[in-house]
Amino acid sequence: MVIDYKGTSFSFKKIRKTKRLKQIRVIGVILLIIFSYFLVTNILESGKIKKIQALLLETKTDEASARFKKIESSLLHPKTKKELMALIHLFSDEYSEAADILTGLGDTSTSIAYGKFLNYFSDRAEYRKLGIYTDYLMKKIKKVDRGEELLFYKALYKTGMFDFRQSVETIRQMPPGPREKKEKQLVLVNRIDEQLKSGKVNYIFDSGGKPLAYYDMVKKKTVSLAPGISFDAFTADFEKSIKFYHLTLDMKAQAKIHRLFRDFNGSFLLFNLGDSGIAAAYSKPVDKKKANTNTVFYETYEPGSILKILTMFAYLKFYRKDIEVFPFHCKGLWQMGDKIFYDWKTHNTVETCEDALAVSCNLVFARIGVGLGTKRLSDIFNRFYFNSEGLKDLFLTFKTGKTNGKISTDYRLANMAVGLNEVSITTFHSALISAVFSQNGSINTPHLIMNKKNLFNLGFYNHDPQLVEIFKENIIFFKIKNAMVEVVEGRGGTGRRSKVDFVKVALKTGTAGDKKLGLDAVLTGFFPADKPQYAFAFRLERGGRAELNGARFLKDFLTAFYR
């Protein structure tokens, strides 16, 4: 066989060329894969960055921070991630850390939706955060129209941080066009700048919009315009940046109570049962060291017989034949070992628990308390907020009372059952208990702060009422409420001197305190009794017997309130 090579060419150069082409194609495929990988990774990471921004704007800072940590080490979007990290610091109130990061970024371009964050900070009156972020953006953004837009936010945060001079100067720098677009907002900013210039900023208002307090720029303190209440607890939050608080208080009711306390000392709290808002909170303590403090919310004292409504509740809740005490013969005293338990008077025969509450027979409720025992009585008291950490309302705390849950003797247990020695309460707590009874065991969370608003008078916090159910015992509540009405309407009722013709009141009176210093009159209840709208409690410190001065004071209050 003969091989014919005619017409065939052979070249090492051609082989090398073919080989290079193959290598180029392989490299091209590899590069394409790498490019596709980075493209997809870039798209995915961009989506994650957007999600983190969305979480921050939803105030889910912890979740946003956790997601950020998963992409933090990636080489993609380094500048955008630095700005995002700074925003996470801002949302965590870590101001210096955020400012340091933003200063280091300079004028680098990023993909952060900064406009949303500017609006977020301004809407929520977080003007310090707005200032840090705006100052960074003003150095970064060169476009004329965007720079002019940022002047508005600069004026806003300057006012919000009490620098009215810089705010006015910044507004002057704004061109006519942008200024006209923001005309309505700038009118409001200018009004606040005028108040700052005067040295007094009204920032706390009652339910009808009347000023309750202003901030004194010179003395750096909050000055109350309402008698009998201090707003010092608001100062620290206000000084972080300007915002306005609208409270549930009624200035007219507060003023009426103030006039009634002309010859008395003590405290008074009034709940509006429609939303469990505090309509009035008045304090005028005997102790001058406590002057200008809200003793109505924190000062504890011996409640006396007003606690019998809880002892009666426990009796009806845990009723058994072996603790039956009725009909009861009251002799005015009870020999308990080497001690004697006294009543104010001899009630003779007391037929029912309702009668006992109306005439406030100490011996009946002492017998009930001893029959129930410490644990059952304490369990009921604790369900009605005794020995709790108090109730919260944003940065405010309303203190509740305490009981001794480790009583080992009948005499001490008898005292706790009638509200003496082993138990203490606040006026707020006393009114809260009456509010719970008026609503058959349920109540919306009590509050004083209705909403918070920013410089544009837009609310960014509104109280969210939560229904709290203490007990489902409609029959028991019905019986006790009727007995509380008899305290006023009954012939022997301890609150009969408070009776008025124009409204029916459910009431419980209590007398406690030190005989040598002067007895305290403590009263609590709600009205109208058939369709409750208000619950109240007050203490006349060293004001005498509850059925005398206390009842007359209540009558005067009802007359003034409905006048």
pLDDT (tens digit, 9 = 90+) per residue, 366-381? 999 999 999 999 999 9
Compute the average pLDDT of residues 174-195: 92
Give the pLDDT score at 8.
Answer: 55
* Range from 15-24, 53-62, 309-318 carrying the lowest mean pLDDT: 15-24
Q: Which two tokens stand for residue 417?
A: 């059952």
pLDDT at residue 412 greater than cutoff 60: yes
Higher pLDDT, 522 or 107: 522
Alpha carbon separation from 417 to 304, 328, 341, 360 (Å, rounded) = 9, 17, 12, 12
**Does the structure show a pLDDT above 70 at 187?**
yes
In the chain the domains, ranked by start, together with CATH numbers, are 44-196 (no CATH), 255-562 (3.40.710.10)
Q: How many other C-beta atoms can be found within 10 angstroms of the C-beta atom of residue 390?
A: 16
Asked if the model's pLDDT at residue 434 lies above 90, the reply is yes
Q: Cα angle at 551 between 274 and 384, to 5 degrees?
A: 45
The reported pTM is 0.88
Residue 533 confidence (pLDDT): 97
pLDDT over 80 at 293, yes or no: yes
Identify any residues that bridge with 348 across adjacent strands, giving them in sequence order: 330
More confident residue, 520 or 149: 520
- Residue 30 has a pLDDT of 74
Q: What's the one-letter identity of residue 139?
A: K
In contact, 267 and 296? CB cutoff 8 Å: yes
Q: What is the pLDDT of residue 74?
A: 82
The reported pLDDT for the residue numbered 12 is 66
Query: What pLDDT shows up at residue 76?
Result: 79
pLDDT band, residue 108 (cuts 50/70/90): confident
Over the chain, what is the mean pLDDT? 91
Nearest Cα neighbor of 89 from 122, 111, 119, 117 is 117
Q: Are 399 and 428 in contact (CB under 8 A)?
A: yes
Asked whether the predicted pLDDT for residue 259 surpasses 80, the reply is: yes
Percent of the chain exceeding pLDDT 90 equals: 77
Element housing 509 (H / E): strand 506-514
If you average pLDDT over residues 75-83, what whole number do you get? 86
200-224: pLDDT as tens digits: 999 999 999 999 999 999 999 999 9
Residues in contact with 182: Cβ distance below 8 Å, sequence separation at least 6, in sequence order: 152, 174
- Cα separation, 433 vs 415, in Å, equals 19
Q: Between 194 and 24, where is the model more confident?
A: 194
Percentage above 70 pLDDT, the chain: 94
User: Across 163-318, where does the E strand assignment appear?
Assistant: 200-205, 211-216, 221-224, 244-247, 266-272, 277-284
pLDDT value at 413 more than 80: yes
Quote the pLDDT of residue 109.
79
Give the three-state DSSP class for 421. Answer: coil
Tens-digit pLDDT profile for residues 501-537: 999 999 999 999 888 889 999 999 999 999 999 999 9
Q: Give residue 144's pLDDT band: very low, low, confident or very high (50, 70, 90).
A: very low
Determine the Cα–Cα distance for residues 187 and 21; give it in Å rounded to an integer. Answer: 72
What is the average per-residue pLDDT within 434-453?
96
* Per-residue pLDDT tens over the stretch 271-284: 999 999 999 999 99
Report d(CA 544, CA 550) in Å as an integer: 7
Residue 142 has pLDDT above 80, yes or no: no
Question: Across residues 20-33, what is the average pLDDT?
Answer: 74
Q: Indicate if the pLDDT at residue 149 is higher than 50.
A: yes
| pLDDT attached to residue 2 | 55
pLDDT digits (tens, 9 = 90+) for 457-478: 999 999 998 999 999 999 999 9
